[in-house]
Chain A
Amino acid sequence: MNYLLYIDPGSGSLLIQAIIAAIVGALFYFKNAWFYVKNFFVKLFKKSTSNQQSEL
Chain B
Amino acid sequence: MSSTSPSVIAGSYKDPAGFVFTQNKEIYRQINQDYSAAYETIKSSGLFEKLWEKRWLVKHIEANDVIADTSLHYKTLKAEKIPMITYPYEWSFLMFRKAAVFTLELQEFCLSQGFSLKDATPFNVQFIGTDPVWIDTLSFEPADPSKPWIAYQQFLQTQLYPLLVHESNPSLKFDLLLQNLNGIKADLTATLLPRRKKLSLSYWMYVYLAKAVNKHTADGTTQKAASPAFTLQKQLNILRHLKSYVQSLKAPSLKVSWKNYYQNHIETAAYTEEKLRLLKEYIPFTETHQFGLDLGANTGKYSDLLHEKNYYVLSSDFDINCIDEYYTQCHKNNKKSIQPFLFDLAHPTPAVGFANEERSSISERLSGKVKITLALALIHHLRVTYNLPLHKVAAYFANITEELIIEFVPQTDAKYMALTAHRSDTFPDYTEINFEKAFGDFFQLHQKSVVKPSQRVLYYLKKK
Inter-subunit contact A25/B237 (CB<8 Å): yes
Inter-subunit contact B237/A17 (CB<8 Å): no
Interface string of B213-242 (1 = CB under 8 A from A): 110111110001101101001110110110
Inter-subunit contact B209/A16 (CB<8 Å): yes
Q: Indicate if A35 sits at the interface (CB-CB under 8 A).
A: no
Inter-subunit contact B218/A23 (CB<8 Å): no
Inter-subunit contact B228/A18 (CB<8 Å): yes
Inter-subunit contact A17/B154 (CB<8 Å): no
> How far apart are the CA atoms of A25 and B241 in the complex, in Å?
10
Q: How many A-B residue pairs have CB under 8 A?
A: 80
Known: A4-B218, A17-B148, A21-B234. Is A12-B241 also a contact (CB below 8 A)?
no
> How far apart are the CA atoms of A37 and B228 in the complex, in Å?
33
Q: Indicate if A28 sits at the interface (CB-CB under 8 A).
A: yes
Interface string of B233-264 (1 = CB under 8 A from A): 11101101100000000000000000000000
A11 to chain B, nearest CB (A): 5
> How far apart are the CA atoms of A2 and B218 in the complex, in Å?
8
Known: A3-B220, A8-B224, A21-B230. Is A14-B214 also a contact (CB below 8 A)?
no
Interface secondary structure of A, over-half rule? helix
> How far apart are the CA atoms of A33 and B93 in the complex, in Å?
35
B214 to chain A, nearest CB (A): 6
Chain A positions within 8 Å of B234 at CB level: 17-18, 21, 25
Q: Indicate if B153 sits at the interface (CB-CB under 8 A).
A: yes
Chain B contact residues (Cβ within 8 angstroms of A): what range? Answer: 20 to 34
Chain A positions within 8 Å of B74 at CB level: none
Inter-subunit contact B227/A23 (CB<8 Å): no
Q: In residues 162-213 of chain B, which contact A (Cβ within 8 Å)?
A: 185, 201, 205-206, 209-210, 213
Known: A15-B228, A18-B228. Is A10-B238 also a contact (CB below 8 A)?
no
Inter-subunit contact A14/B227 (CB<8 Å): yes
Known: A7-B218, A20-B238. Is A12-B213 also a contact (CB below 8 A)?
yes
Chain B positions within 8 Å of A10 at CB level: 150, 152-153
Q: In residues 4-44 of chain A, which contact B (Cβ within 8 Å)?
A: 4, 7-21, 23-25, 27-28
Name the residue among B218, B225, B233 with the largest chain A CB count within 10 angstroms.
B218
Chain A residue with minimal CB distance to B187? A4
Chain A residue with minimal CB distance to B233? A25
> How far apart are the CA atoms of A14 and B235 in the complex, in Å?
11
Interface secondary structure of B, over-half rule? helix
Chain B positions within 8 Å of A24 at CB level: 205, 237-238, 240-241
Inter-subunit contact B213/A16 (CB<8 Å): yes
Known: A9-B153, A24-B237. Is A14-B210 also a contact (CB below 8 A)?
no
Chain A residue with minimal CB distance to B220? A3
Q: Indicate if B28 sits at the interface (CB-CB under 8 A).
A: no
> How far apart are the CA atoms of A17 and B210 in the complex, in Å?
10
Chain A positions within 8 Å of B228 at CB level: 14-15, 18
Q: Indicate if B149 sits at the interface (CB-CB under 8 A).
A: yes
Q: Which one of A2, A12, A17 lies within 8 Å of B238 (CB-CB)?
A: A17
B242 to chain A, nearest CB (A): 9
Chain B positions within 8 Å of A2 at CB level: 218
Chain A positions within 8 Å of B205 at CB level: 19-20, 23-24
> How far apart are the CA atoms of A27 and B218 in the complex, in Å?
30
> How far apart are the CA atoms of A2 and B217 in the complex, in Å?
11
> How far apart are the CA atoms of A13 and B154 in the complex, in Å?
10
Chain A positions within 8 Å of B227 at CB level: 14
Inter-subunit contact B213/A27 (CB<8 Å): no
Inter-subunit contact B149/A9 (CB<8 Å): no
> How far apart are the CA atoms of A48 and B111 in the complex, in Å?
44
A32 to chain B, nearest CB (A): 12
Inter-subunit contact B225/A14 (CB<8 Å): yes
Chain B residue with minimal CB distance to A19? B209
Starting from the known contacts A3-B217, A14-B228, 19 additional A-B residue pairs (CB-CB under 8 Å) come to A4-B214, A10-B152, A12-B210, A12-B214, A13-B152, A13-B156, A13-B210, A13-B213, A16-B210, A18-B148, A18-B228, A18-B234, A19-B209, A20-B206, A20-B238, A21-B148, A21-B234, A25-B233, A28-B241
In the complex, 28 of the A-B residue pairs with CB atoms within 8 angstroms, ordered by the A residue number, are A3-B218, A4-B185, A4-B214, A4-B218, A7-B218, A9-B154, A11-B217, A12-B210, A12-B213, A12-B214, A12-B216, A13-B148, A13-B152, A13-B153, A14-B225, A15-B228, A16-B209, A17-B149, A17-B234, A17-B238, A18-B148, A18-B228, A18-B230, A19-B209, A21-B148, A21-B235, A24-B205, A24-B240
